[in-house]
């Protein structure tokens, strides 16, 4: 029988997500991915995805729709509840950030690898396409969180991004560990941590150092 293009594509994506997670997005060659997918044709990967970026996008596209749908659902529920006490609002929004991704810990079809890959992208700051799309759930989340943060935390300390980074780092660490654990306590605690990050007040020392930094910038030629 002739090869099935869809099946070949799925095998290549599965091999890529596993190797990208284990060795890093740039730590594995396309040839190795092609071989790991059992492809005798050395050009199979290029035929299906073009290059490394195209393959990476295919890996992300495999998982993003589920996460997007779930987070939008949680944000819809948040908005439908109207005004909430600030602490409850923060934790509800922290849960909307964490839970859709934490569900990938139980996804046997590459979910744990996906989480490790996303942490790499966050670490590299390589989420430009996500930031540029106002319809992405993460951007909707950022807008809903903004009223809960002080101007300093929002504009100068980028506390929302810190919450996102903590989420991906901790999920990737969990994903790299043994499978089969009950993740409910881990997930709830991570939501607590993210909520605390969002609630953190700016100390006098941090405010002073911010002022010093701004003065140095103003004085720079």
pLDDT along the chain (221 residues), means of 10: 73 95 94 87 82 94 96 97 94 98 97 96 70 79 93 81 94 95 96 95 88 82 68
* DSSP assignment string, 6-48: HHHHHHHHHHHHHHHHHH-TTSS-HHHHHHHTT--STTHHHHH
- The CATH class of 1-50 is mainly alpha
Nearest-angstrom CA–CA distance, 37 and 3: 13
Which position has the token pair 């594995």?
Answer: 28
Nearest-angstrom CA–CA distance, 54 and 58: 6
Closest CA to 115 of 185, 45, 191, 62: 62
Cβ atoms of 20 and 38 within 8 Å: the answer is no
- In this prediction, residue 132 carries a pLDDT of 54
Cβ atoms of 183 and 105 within 8 Å: the answer is yes
Q: Where are the domains of the chain?
A: 1-50, 63-219
Nearest-angstrom CA–CA distance, 214 and 211: 5
- In this prediction, residue 110 carries a pLDDT of 96
In three-state secondary structure terms, 71 is helix
- In this prediction, residue 68 carries a pLDDT of 97
Q: What is the dihedral of CA 63, 108, 189, 131, to 10 degrees?
A: -10
- In this prediction, residue 126 carries a pLDDT of 65
């Amino acid at each position: 029988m002739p090869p099935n293009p869809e099946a070949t594509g799925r095998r290549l994506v599965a091999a890529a997500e596993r190797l990208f997670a284990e060795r890093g997005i740039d730590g594995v060659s396309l040839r190795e991915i092609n071989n790991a997918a059992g492809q005798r044709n050395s050009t199979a990967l290029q035929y299906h995805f073009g290059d490394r970026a195209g393959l990476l996008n295919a890996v992300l596209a495999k998982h993003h729709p589920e996460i997007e749908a779930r987070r939008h659902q949680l944000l819809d529920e948040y908005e439908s509840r109207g005004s909430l006490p600030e602490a409850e609002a923060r934790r509800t929004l922290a849960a909307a950030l964490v839970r859709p991704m934490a569900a990938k810990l139980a996804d046997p079809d590459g979910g744990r690898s996906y989480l490790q890959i996303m942490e790499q992208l966050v670490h590299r700051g390589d989420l430009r396409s996500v930031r540029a799309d106002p319809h992405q759930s993460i951007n909707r989340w950022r807008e809903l969180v903004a009223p809960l943060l002080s101007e300093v935390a929002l504009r100068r300390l980028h506390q929302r991004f810190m919450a996102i980074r903590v989420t991906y780092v901790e999920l990737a660490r969990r994903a790299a560990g043994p499978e089969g654990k009950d993740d409910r306590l881990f997930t709830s605690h991570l939501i607590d941590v993210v909520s605390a990050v969002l609630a953190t007040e700016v100390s006098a020392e941090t405010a002073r150092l911010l002022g010093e930094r701004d003065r140095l910038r103003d004085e720079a030629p």
